[in-house]
């Protein structure tokens, strides 16, 4: 199992797209069992179908990882025009069985990422677990909190207005709103009434957490 | 501050959602007291809408009982109510729409002797009678007590209404000095009336009451709104407060309440004109 932070996945895709139509390559470094760093390397082959890293840059990357307390966990590269599976050349050049080989395919409009372990020319695929970014911990706390999970439109707005009516100007109302029409409508209405939406974050269950300052 | 129940929040949600009404406006409505004079053509829709809106206390005064000829336009009354006091019939419907409110009924004919006592404590009055003596009596009593009111009248295909805020805007007498002599103007009973225009006018009067209570918008003061349902033409005639007005002017000649030429209080068995 390869555990990777969501933002690293985003960086790999972005690197692949920025090099296309050439293949992009690089290292993934981990700490505490989670890949948390993407080290973009130069593809000295400058080819759309294969890649090689610059040995000097490889040593530099390994050194700086060590200095940061990170360990190289995987090699990644992009397939601009083909599927996310190792090519014959990829298998032949996979020299380190301790590393995972991550391939991002940019063939389709939404990229695909797969990870492989390649030992003695034998390829086995490896599961990737994407670790979502931790929620930003906000320093603002709500003076009044309303959990409007399961409350549809327009009663969620009615209850929001009732909550505001009991608050002083400048106080903060914390709201939990369902995804869909509630998150699409309630913030718009409170903004129209002059209140200020300070933050809006989606929770794991799809509902939204908002902080709103009363006008 | 009222703590709305879940049921109240749902019942009044469409008011609370309005930016200009909101929680505060609904609270004002629940605390307001409105008197409706006449449980007829105008009073019926006004009573039903004010009850639905959650006006906390609604008084309704009428000495008549429901007759079959009323049912063409007095929509608070049903066929089963024939013979029942109009105020009892109306109160039953108002409470059925909204058990949240208090309805006070008065089975009396409004006259100079009882009007001051009856209107005391109300925030707004809806005049839904169609006899001129009572219209002038309501105007004068409201000017004396400072209670705002909505005047309204309908006949045939026409309606007219104005809102009076005593001491601020033109009163009914500023424009219409005194009641026409009896029989100079036909009543609905003689001339007929298109039933639906009672709803058109009564709901305008209810709207004015709601606006006054919540403070939303501008009232129909210093202007008479008239319409002709045949062409559906609405017209607003500007009116101004008159220094020479006999009741709200600088030197008023009317300083106490008197019943008009017919002493309607003594005519209970045969009212001058049945309220439309
Ligand atoms: Zn006047």
Look at residue A138 and tell me if it is in a domain: no
Which of B17, B18, B28 should one mutate to test binding to chain A, selecting the residue with the greatest count of A CBs within 10 A?
B17
Partners of A162 on chain B (C-beta within 8 Å) are 4, 9, 16, 23
Whether residue A97 has pLDDT greater than 90: no
- Domain count for chain B, please give it: 1
Q: Are strands B223-228 and B158-164 parallel, antiparallel or unpaired?
A: antiparallel
Does the beta-carbon distance from B17 to A165 stay under 8 Å? no
Q: Which domain holds residue B209?
A: 32-238
Q: What is the CATH number of the domain that holds A103?
A: 3.40.140.10
Contact B10 A157 (CB under 8 A): no
Q: What does the DSSP assignment read for A136-179? A: PPPS---SEEEEETT--TTHHHHHHHHHHHTS-TT-EEEEEE-T
Which domain-ending residue is among A103, A129, A155?
A129
Angle (nearest 5°) at CA B74 between B143 and B107: 55
In the listed set A104, A129, A154, which residue is the last one of a domain according to the structure? A129
Tell whether A59 and A159 lie within a shared domain: no
- The answer as to whether B85 is a domain residue is yes
Question: From its phi and psi, is residue B109 left (phi > 0), alpha (psi between -120 and 50) or beta?
Answer: beta
Nearest chain A CA: its distance from B31 CA (Å): 17
| CA-wise closest residue to B20 among B218, B262, B251 | B218
3-class state of residue B40 by DSSP: coil
Give the helix, strand, coil percentages of chain B, each rounded to 5. Answer: 35, 20, 45
Distance of CA B207 to the CA centre of its chain: 11
Residue A175 belongs to domain with CATH number: 3.30.110.40
- Are residues A121 and A164 both part of a single domain? no
Q: How far is the CA of B117 from the centre of ligand 1 (A)?
A: 22
- Whether the CB of B9 is below 8 Å from some CB of chain A: the reply is yes
CA distance linking residue B92 with residue B82, whole number of Å: 14
What pLDDT is recorded for position B186?
72
Domain assignment present for residue B11? The answer is no
H-helix or E-strand spanning residue B147: none
What does the alpha-carbon distance between residue B96 and residue B103 come to, in Å, rounded to a whole number?
Answer: 11
pLDDT in tens, A12-67: 999 999 998 999 999 999 988 889 899 999 999 999 998 999 899 999 998 988 88
A161 contacts B16? CB cut-off 8 A: yes
Cβ count near B86 (within 10 Å): 28
Q: Do A159 and B9 touch (CB under 8 A)?
A: yes
Model pLDDT, residue A139: 63
Contact B200, B227 (CB under 8 A): yes
User: CA–CA separation, B150 vs B174, rounded Å?
Assistant: 15
Does A160 reside within a domain? yes
Residue A29 lies in a domain: yes
Q: Measure the CA–CA gap between B116 and B132, rounded to whole angstroms.
A: 18
**Total domain count for chain A?**
2
Residue B196 belongs to domain with CATH number: 3.40.50.720
Q: Residue A12: name the closest of A72, A58, A79 by CA.
A: A79
Q: Across the 276 residues of chain B, what is the mean pLDDT of every consecutive 10-residue run? A: 90 96 97 98 98 98 97 98 98 98 97 96 95 94 98 96 97 87 71 95 98 98 98 97 95 87 42 40
More confident residue, A203 or B1: A203
Nearest by CB to B19, from A154, A166, A193: name it.
A193
Q: How far, in Å, CA of B181 to CA of A65, rounded? A: 105
* Closest listed residue to residue A193, CA positions, set B182, B150, B16: B16
> Where would I find the beta strands (DSSP E) of chain B?
33-37, 57-61, 102-106, 124-127, 149-155, 158-164, 223-228, 233-238
Looking at the structure, do residues A39 and A113 belong to the same domain, yes or no? yes
Q: Are residues A109 and A152 in the same domain?
A: no
Query: Quick one: pLDDT at residue A92?
Result: 85
CB contact under 8 A, B16 and A192: no
* CA B258 distance to own-chain centroid: 20
Residue B10 near chain A (CB below 8 Å): yes
Radius of gyration of chain A (CA): 24
* Residues of the domain holding A155: 143-213
- Interface confidence (ipTM) of the complex: 0.80
How far apart CA B215 and CA B21 sit, in angstroms, is 8
Mean pLDDT across chain A = 90
Mark yes or no for CB contact B9/A192 under 8 Å: no
Interface test with A, best of B20, B22, B27 (most A CBs within 10 A): B22
- The owner of tokens 């990777």 is A4
The helix/strand/coil state of B8 is helix
Q: Could you tell me if residue A63 is inside a domain? A: yes
How far the first Cα of chain A sits from its last, in Å, is 50
Residue A120: is its pLDDT beyond 90? no
Domain co-membership, A105 together with A154:
no
User: How far lies A65's CA from each of A95, B39, B175, B224, in Å?
Assistant: 20, 88, 93, 85
Q: Measure B232 CA to ligand 1 centroid, in angstroms.
A: 29
CA-based nearest distance A100→chain B, Å = 57
Would A70 be classed as within a structural domain?
yes
CA distances from A47 to A17, A23, A113, A149, A167 (A): 14, 6, 20, 52, 63
Distance B267 CA to ligand 1 centre (A): 28
Residue that has been written with the tokens 């940061």 in this structure: A68
């Amino acid at each position: 199992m390869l555990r990777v932070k969501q933002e690293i996945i985003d960086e790999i895709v972005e690197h692949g797209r920025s090099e296309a139509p050439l293949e992009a390559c690089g290292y993934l470094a981990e700490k505490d069992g989670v890949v948390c760093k993407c080290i973009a390397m130069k593809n000295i082959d400058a080819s759309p179908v294969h890649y090689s890293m610059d040995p000097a840059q490889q040593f530099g990357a390994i050194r700086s990882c060590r200095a940061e307390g990170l360990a190289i966990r995987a090699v990644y590269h992009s397939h601009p025009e083909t599927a996310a599976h190792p090519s014959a050349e990829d298998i032949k050049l996979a020299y380190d069985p301790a590393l995972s080989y991550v391939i991002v395919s940019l063939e389709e409009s939404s990229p695909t990422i797969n990870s492989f372990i390649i030992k003695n020319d034998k390829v086995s695929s490896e599961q990737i677990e994407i670790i979502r970014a931790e929620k930003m911990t906000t320093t603002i706390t709500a003076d009044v909190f309303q959990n409007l999970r399961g409350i549809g439109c327009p009663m969620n707005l009615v209850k929001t207005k009732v909550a505001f009516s009991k608050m002083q100007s400048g106080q903060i109302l914390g709201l939990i709103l369902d995804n869909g029409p509630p998150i699409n409508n309630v913030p718009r209405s409170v903004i129209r009434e002059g209140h200020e939406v300070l933050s809006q974050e989606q929770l794991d269950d799809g509902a939204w957490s908002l902080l709103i300052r009363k006008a | 501050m009222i703590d709305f129940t879940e049921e109240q929040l749902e019942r009044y949600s469409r008011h609370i959602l309005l930016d200009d009404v909101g929680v505060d406006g609904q609270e004002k409505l629940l605390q307001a007291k409105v008197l409706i004079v006449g449980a007829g053509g105008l009073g019926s829709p006004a009573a039903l809408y004010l009850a639905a809106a959650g006006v906390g206390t609604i008084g309704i005064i009428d000495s008549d009982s429901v007759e079959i000829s009323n049912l063409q336009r007095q929509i608070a009354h049903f066929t089963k109510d024939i013979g029942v006091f109009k105020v009892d019939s109306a109160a039953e419907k108002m409470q059925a729409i909204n058990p949240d409110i208090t309805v006070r009924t008065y089975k009396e004919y409004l006259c100079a002797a009882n009007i001051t006592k009856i209107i005391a404590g109300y925030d707004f009055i809806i005049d839904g009678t169609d006899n001129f003596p009572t219209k002038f009596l309501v105007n004068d009593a409201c000017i004396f007590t400072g209670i705002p009111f909505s005047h309204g009248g309908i006949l045939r295909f026409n309606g007219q209404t104005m809102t009076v805020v005593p001491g601020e805007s033109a009163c009914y007498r500023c424009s219409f000095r005194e009641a026409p002599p009896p029989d100079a103007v036909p009543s609905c009973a003689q001339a007929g009336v298109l039933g639906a225009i009672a709803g058109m006018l009564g709901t305008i009067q209810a709207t004015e009451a709601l606006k006054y209570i919540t403070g939303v918008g501008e009232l129909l003061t210093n202007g008479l709104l008239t319409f002709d349902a045949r062409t559906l033409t609405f017209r607003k005639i500007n009116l101004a407060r008159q220094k020479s007005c006999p009741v709200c002017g600088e030197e008023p000649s009317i300083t106490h309440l008197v019943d008009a030429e017919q002493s309607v209080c003594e005519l209970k068995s045969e009212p001058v004109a049945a309220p439309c």
